Amino acid sequence: MILKLRRVKSHDFIRIFAEESDFLKNGSNAAVKILRMRILPILGMIIVFITSISVLYLGEPVGLSDNGDFRRVLITNNIEYINDTDCHYLFKENYRMILPNGAGVPEAIGAAWRTRNEEVYRSPHFLIIKLSKEINIIANAISGKPLSNYDIKYMAFIYCFMLSLAAGVIFTFFSDNKLRVQVAVFVLFIFIFCDAGYLLYFNSFYGEPLQYTALMMLVAFGMLIYKRPSVPKVIGFFVSLYFFAGAKLANIPYSMIVALLSILIVMMRRDIRFRLAVVLSALVCVISIVGLYMSIPDWMSRDTTYQAVFFGITKSGDDPAADLRELGVDEKYAVLSGTNAYMDGDEHPIDLATDEFAESFYNRVEKTDIAFFYLRHPLRFIKELCMAIENSAYIRPPSVGNSRTVLMELTERFSVWSRLRVTLRFLYEPWVIFAAFMIITGYMIFINIFYIHNHRIESPEKKYMICALDILILGLWINLVLPILTNGEADLAKHMFLFVNCIDILFMVCTVAAVTLPVRQMLKAVAAAAILTGLFYIHLPQTTIDFGTLGGRTLKWNITKRYEDGTMLIVSKKCVAYMPFDETTNNWESSELRAWLNSAFLTEFTDEEKARIELTDNLIPLTYSSRMRAESGDHAHYWNYTRSLVNDLADTSYRVNVTDRVFLPTLDMMEQQVPGETYWILCPYTSNDSMQRFMNYDGFILHTDTAKEMGVKAVMRIRVK
């Protein structure tokens, strides 16, 4: 009996131990699941918020300077510059709110919510600004600062919170996937969407930060609806869509399409309450977006139409008069070709403020006329789209500064993705983009036709996913086409921001999809991307010669051009020095760099080498303030940062002839130059007297203060022996 009892107890112990082990194991698995499903997404959201704040404020605060767009926002929201000196080139952190004299905290809070002159410009963007004004007033009251002080960082905090919230939702969506997929999503989100190129917008009054965060919230709510559809998520989706539409009024056409297609969310659940909520939310959203469209002010519609025609259609054609006749406009206005709406009045050869011009142009041309014009001239439209794609290389606009103290200083803080996407040239190479878009679009058309014709989609989730992909493809095409149709080539790099955002989302989707593949196939995908990137860096070797000496070493030169008179144009293979252009001015004739190149630089050249150097005449662009010295031209040189377009309209810009023995690379030489070094070029930034343009190491043409030290490549025309 004792033995039997002991045996029973032994069996019971083993059974109980096994049950306890299973319980602990199941409990451990449950804990891990909770950790992955709940805690890790929240932790990821916190990391995104901290990263965003750190990028903007760890060290000297950075943001974006004003390019002229702030004015309408500041006026409407009763905010003004404390000091507007260099506001177009320096990031401004502090502003002043216009409050009633002697206002206390309650009165100031009420006044901060009011706007003025909303006929100038209306946008849900103003709700974010008003909220940031309220936070500023409360913070000022606590800290003892004047109530009217406006610190832009509080608005940046709101955007950082919105981005981190979207990130947390996206991380939650992938929380039940494999660990490597979760890690990939987290790393890619931080790496791509917390890049300074995106976050710098948060410290600005542009509409892009609301557009960016609203789009990410839209994606996040779309994912939530796919996984567990509910009424609050549907409402969140359509509210995000409204903010996205109003952030930039050019988003309205795409937002209308998204709103109408999104009614298909009703198929995710069968209960009447859910379906009614979807239909009502979509209806309210559509009505609100139509209201945004109706509120677009006349001045904005007129300006963009002017840009689309005179800085788009006629600028890109060979016969502006014929283009205007086709649009139903008097050909006498062909003299406006190549001008934009924001030039000073005396730069326009015709007064644009007259009733005659309004009747002859603004009342005759609509955006639909521009669209039909390009439909009749598809090759010209494709050329314009290629130019738009080239202008999508940078995330942040390369025409505005990031520093509070240094004119046109571009921060490198947490900009790895910004630099890498420029290196990955297939992301902004026109033929690659067109090929990829055509393949993806063709595939989606096939999928839609196949499933609709054969009624093969049983699950609502699959229908929802196909609809989501349709919306993404439509977004890529619309956001590529719309900037050209609505605003021509004016400020094109900034207007391509949404296109860049969509491309980066597509890139992340493709990368995450590659991570889910078996290791061997994933490595093949990485190798294919590396090979595709490498193809763009294959260059035919240039013919070089040895000529002259500097610092005891023989200089090597690339032969750029040969002339019939037996001379040739040569450019130093490497930078010959690193020095400022000048301490105070971008006037080439009086610059310190010109003096050095034509004197001290030639010290070690032999007399025979010096004798072979020809005097060369160059027509050099002038700044707008120096236009009275111009020997030719009738407008300032327009800014473009791509090598293929940097010389655009230079022949008709304000220019003066200067004769040199040694000079800098000129605009017409840029397209032939191989990227790799950063150096000055012979072109001032014409909107400012103390900034000069330079070739960046990535092959794009930027501008900076002349006192900054930069590489110097020498150019000269020499006689062949």
For 146, the 3-state DSSP assignment is coil
The series of mean pLDDT values per 10 residues for the chain, 721 residues long, is 44 50 52 64 94 95 93 91 87 94 88 74 88 96 94 97 96 87 93 97 96 96 92 95 93 93 88 93 94 87 93 92 95 91 80 91 94 96 95 92 91 94 91 92 86 69 85 92 93 93 93 83 79 76 90 94 93 96 95 97 95 95 92 87 89 94 95 91 92 94 94 96 74
Question: What torsion, rounded to 10 degrees, do the Cα atoms 667, 673, 675, 680 define?
Answer: -40
pLDDT at residue 120, as a whole number: 59
Beta bridge partners of 657: 619
> Rg for the chain (alpha carbons), in Å?
30
Q: Which helix (H) or strand (E) holds 253?
A: helix 252-261
Q: What is the DSSP letter of 616?
A: E
pLDDT at residue 517, as a whole number: 79
Beta bridge partners of 568: 562, 718
What sign for the dihedral angle of Cα 495, 500, 506, 512? negative
Provide the pairing of β-strand 567-572 with 715-719.
Answer: antiparallel
Diameter over CA atoms, the chain:
122
What sign for the dihedral angle of Cα 235, 237, 240, 244? negative
- CB of 229 within 8 A of CB of 264? no
- CB of 142 within 8 A of CB of 98? no
* Apex 229 CA angle, 223 and 232, nearest 5: 95
Tokens for 352?
Answer: 């644009």
DSSP-assigned letters across all residues of 395-451: SS-TTS---SSSTTPPP-TT-HHHHHHHHSGGGS-HHHHHHHHHHHHHHHHHHHHHH
Sheet holding 544-550, edge to edge: 544-550, 553-562, 567-572, 715-719, 613-614
Alpha-carbon distance of 255 to 664, in angstroms, equals 48
- CB of 280 within 8 A of CB of 102? no
Scored b (16 or more CB within 10 A) or e, 319-338 reads: ebbebbebbebeeebbebbb
